[in-house]
Amino acid sequence: MAEPSPRAGPLVSVLVPTFNRRRVLAEALASLVRQTYANFEAFVVNDGGEPVADLVAAFNDPRLIMIDRRENRGKAHCLNEALGRARGKYVAYLDDDDLFYPHHLASLVHALETRPECGAAYTDLYKVHCRVRPDGQRQVLGKVVTVSRDFDRFFICYFNHVLHVSLMHRRDLLEKTGLYNENLRVLIDWDMTRRLAHFTDFTHVTDVTGEFYGPVGESDRISYLMRLDKMKYLTQLMTIRATRPPKPWPKMPDLSIILLADRLDKTSAGRLRDIWLWTFMPNQVYLPLPAAQLARLASDMPHLVRVPVPDNAGRAARLDEALRRVEGDYVAVVPPDVQPASMWAEDPLHAAGLPKSGGIAFALAKPEGDWPAVVVGRGDLLRARAARPGVTLRESLAAAGIAVREPTDDERPLGFDRSLQHAQALEKEGAWARAGWLYDRIGAHFGNRRWMKERAAWALYRAGSQDGRATEMAREAAADRPTVSVLLLEAKLLRRAGRDTDAAAILEHAKEILSGKV
């Protein structure tokens, strides 16, 4: 890959929050000053921990800027404080216990400068399994690439596949997303990447450009500690799901959910909570009920819109009143008997956003009765209700020529992940050859080709009957990116073919990667 000159190109602001990790912070900063891309400024923010100013000063590098605070305010506050002083066109991140390889910044700047339609880019990283010794030294046990997948907007709303240490994005995007949420103590990075995805596409650089550490056993990482309290962790997760950056969103669909509860009771209150729990794409929930009932509703849902209606309003009138207020591109009409579950709204929402989906209402559940549960484009629903106001939902949809049906498998989101689960199930059954064939097909159809090539090679190796094809795939994967895992596989195949000398050379290369020499 061609990369920019080390002393040319836009300024990059690197944010390095730290708290009580002097020993490993020195290693992280050493990896930063070794970057081949030299045009960066780095803000080292001490979050009220043990002094590190002397450590930073020892590098004698004017690009390292110390922000020293006595008060511990959390990682999000550190990032915001650094962003308040950042001048770079791009922003990158380095945690105090992680490492950049020398080409990390150069690779990301090159990706963003050559693909201006993408405001964010990310690479792959090694997760370094290690044991922390009593003196604080880390003993490396293994290195593996645990996250390596192409950008998927639906998936990033469900799970963060863009690690913060691997990320670089345009700084001006923060004017749209807003700064880091300082009320969050965990999943801070996911909250930001999720908001960025409302406004830009991401480009995936399939190269390993750094390391993040995963200690075996107990850890002082916030992500580990916060997961110990499951309720607090769930509360933080649901807060992120309810976050709605200011509009307009050029890249993200917005769903307005109208819950047609007949009355406020324990069932309808529980249904509201279930909608919040199970819906991961951005949404607002509209509850049309008489004002007296809404006044009794105790709910902490930040994305709940109370819609007062007359005491005698029927279901059709409640729907039409809520519809006058919705902001979403798509509307989910949810009768009170519909129970939210995994992908309940996302399947029809994805189908409704596909080309040639106009004029179709996609069912959330079995499309039965006069009030089917559906997701439909707001324009289509407004047209239907205007044509036949005051009637049932099915009557108005039919009058407007809008068909009601369930999404097909091809119309559902996360097709890559569904296929991946199928291949993994084949592995569990011992059907290694079939799994290898499917991994290869997944890569050809959905992308993530290098990752799928490696998975296919391992499956065919375990099948024991297709070593030639497995070796070919392993070599192709190693030529693109020689990770420890794929080198180990190639060595195994060579040894099984009786080529011990060649296998030993491959293993030596893997050993050099593990030791940090490569």
Q: Which pLDDT score is estimated for 217?
A: 67
* Residue-level pLDDT at 145: 87
At residue 394, what is the residue type?
R
d(CA 374, CA 354): 16
Percent of the chain with pLDDT over 70: 95
- The separation between the first and the last C-alpha atoms of the chain, rounded to the nearest angstrom, is 18
Q: How many CB atoms lie within 10 A of CB 449?
A: 18
**Across residues 486-492, what is the average pLDDT?**
93
∠ CA(324), CA(154), CA(301), 5° rounding?
50
For the cut 80, the answer to whether the pLDDT of residue 361 exceeds it is: yes
Query: Which letter does DSSP use for residue 413 in this model?
Result: S
Q: How far apart are CA 140 and CA 24, in angstroms?
A: 14
Please tell me the predicted confidence (pLDDT) of residue 142: 80
Q: What integer pLDDT is reported at residue 2 of this predicted model?
A: 43
Q: What token pair was written down for 322?
A: 């809520």
For residue 218, name the pLDDT band (cuts at 50, 70, 90): low
Strand runs labelled E in 358-516: 360-363, 374-377, 403-405
Give pLDDT tens digits for 100-154.
999 999 999 999 999 999 999 999 999 988 888 877 777 778 888 888 899 999 9
For residue 220, pLDDT beyond 60 = no
* pLDDT score of 5: 46
- Give the model's pLDDT for residue 222: 56
Structural domains present in the chain: 12-241 (3.90.550.10), 255-411 (3.90.550.10), 415-515 (1.25.40.10)
Tokens of 139: 């003993």
pLDDT at 225 over 70: no
**Does pLDDT of 385 surpass 60?**
yes
Inter-residue contact 119 to 199 (CB < 8 Å): yes
Which is higher by pLDDT, 225 or 79?
79
Q: Tell me the pLDDT of the chain averaged across its residues.
A: 92
Q: Which pLDDT score, from 0 to 100, does residue 219 have?
A: 53
How far is 474 from 484, CA to CA, in rounded Å? 12
Average pLDDT over residues 393-419: 94
Chain centroid to CA 303: 21
The one-character DSSP state at 103 is T
pLDDT in tens, 150-203: 999 999 999 999 999 999 999 999 999 999 999 998 999 999 999 999 999 999
Pairing of strands 374-377, 330-334: antiparallel
Burial class (CB in 10 A: 0-12, 13-18, 19+), 356: exposed
Q: What letter does residue 34 receive in the DSSP assignment?
A: T
Is residue 241 a contact partner of residue 303, using CB atoms and an 8 Å limit?
A: no
pLDDT in tens, 395-407: 999 999 999 999 9
Task: Name the residue with higher pLDDT: 298 or 197.
Answer: 197
Report the percentage of the chain scoring pLDDT > 90.
Answer: 81
For residue 286, give the H/E element and its range: strand 283-290
pLDDT at 139: 79
Give the residue carrying structure tokens 């908001």. 195
Over the stretch 44-54, which tens digit does the pLDDT of each residue have?
Answer: 999 999 999 99
- Rounded to whole angstroms, the Cα distance separating 399 from 11 reads 58
Among 249, 250, 91, which residue's Cα sits nearest to residue 171?
91
CA–CA dist 26, 20 (Å, integer): 12
- pLDDT value, residue 108: 98
